[in-house]
Amino acid sequence: LFHGQEAMTGSGGAISMRKNDKIYVAPSGVQKDRLEPKDMFVISRQGDTLKPPLNGKICRMSQCTPLFLTIYQLRDSGCVMHTHSKKAVLATMITAGDEFRITDQQMIKGIYKRTEGRNHRFGEEVIIPIIENTATDLELKDELVKAMENYPDTCCVLIRRHGLYVWGTTWEQAKL
């Protein structure tokens, strides 16, 4: 998914997908490009573990899980990912302020504009909020919520010098 794009290499980042009321979350500290269904935690929308990984290994739940749950609650997404993309980190380092803005790029036509129920059009401006990094992912929650409330069209929040959280109705939509 993100491995070939060098956005989620090794054990960095986190992946989750929702099907109905079950959320599948990759464990922490594992090679994401080698995951199999038996490696995933299955949790409820409230965060209760319904089924631990059945791979015979001791696995830890991703530290991103509370943020995934928040995003599922606020956006009713089907997939949420967290990456340490070098490009995302660089974008936050060269952008002053708390917004990354882009327009007149063909690629924005693949980015969903939630408030209008359609994708962005060439020539429109896409604004992605940037929040400051914290010592732990859980400490990002309040600022993540504010960014999502203040930018209702966003499907992504950049974290300065850290990476990003991105979501969509499907994993295909989220990976854009």
Q: Classify residue 3 as exposed, middle or buried by CB count within 10 Å of its CB (0-12, 13-18, 19+).
A: middle
Determine the Cα–Cα distance for residues 158 and 82; give it in Å rounded to an integer: 10
Let me know: does 14 contact 29? Beta carbons within 8 Å.
no
Determine the Cα–Cα distance for residues 30 and 94; give it in Å rounded to an integer: 31
Q: Of 131, 148, 129, 149, which Cα lies nearest the Cα of 140? A: 131
171 pLDDT tier (thresholds 50, 70, 90): confident
User: Strands 49-51 and 112-113, how do they pair?
Assistant: unpaired
pLDDT digits (tens, 9 = 90+) for 93-151: 999 999 999 999 998 998 989 899 999 999 999 999 999 999 999 999 999 999 999 99
10 pLDDT tier (thresholds 50, 70, 90): low
Q: Is the pLDDT of residue 11 over 70?
A: no
pLDDT digits (tens, 9 = 90+) for 21-66: 999 999 988 877 778 888 899 999 999 999 999 877 778 999 999 9
Let me know: does 69 contact 47? Beta carbons within 8 Å.
yes
